């Protein structure tokens, strides 16, 4: 079985906060995480025949599919606790509008949270570097 992997900008404070949020609110520890800048991510994208990943988005690899931007974010909902299922509401918004909002947040993510201090030592086995 292939791992379910969330690729994120490891040097982005906002992105690291999102990873922490997911880990605090996930149903099970089914997801693995990898900074886009890592050697693992580089090899992964090359082996899958994908273009060089864009640091302004994250990627969710699940069920042999690679999801990006707002679709990737919505595909995370099943991994989270039941009360986040209300976020499925956003699926009714056309993808072009969802992705436009996603790109706006991605463009301003450094302003939202520029610093990060993350300690993943208890979950180190879930990070693919």
Q: Is the dihedral of CA 9, 14, 20, 21 positive or negative?
A: negative
pLDDT tens string 16-69: 889 999 999 999 999 999 999 999 999 999 998 888 888 888 899 999 999 999
Residue 41 has a pLDDT of: 94
Spell out the domain ranges in the chain.
4-126
Measured CA to CA, the distance from residue 85 to residue 107 in angstroms comes to 26
Average pLDDT, the chain: 89
CA end-to-end span of the chain:
19
Beta strands 59-62 and 65-68, pairing class: antiparallel
The answer, as to whether pTM is greater than 0.85, is yes
């Amino acid at each position: 079985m292939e791992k379910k992997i969330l690729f994120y900008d490891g040097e982005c404070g906002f992105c690291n906060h999102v990873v922490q949020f997911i880990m605090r609110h996930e149903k099970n520890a089914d997801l693995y995480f990898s900074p886009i800048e890592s050697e693992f991510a580089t090899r992964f994208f090359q082996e899958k025949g994908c273009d060089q990943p864009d640091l302004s988005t994250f990627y969710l690899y699940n069920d042999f599919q690679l999801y990006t931007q707002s679709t990737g974010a919505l595909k995370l909902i099943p991994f989270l606790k039941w009360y986040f299922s209300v976020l499925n509401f956003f699926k009714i918004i056309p993808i072009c509008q969802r992705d436009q909002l996603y790109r706006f947040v991605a463009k301003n993510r450094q302003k939202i949270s520029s610093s990060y201090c993350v300690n993943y030592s208890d979950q180190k086995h879930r990070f693919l570097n």
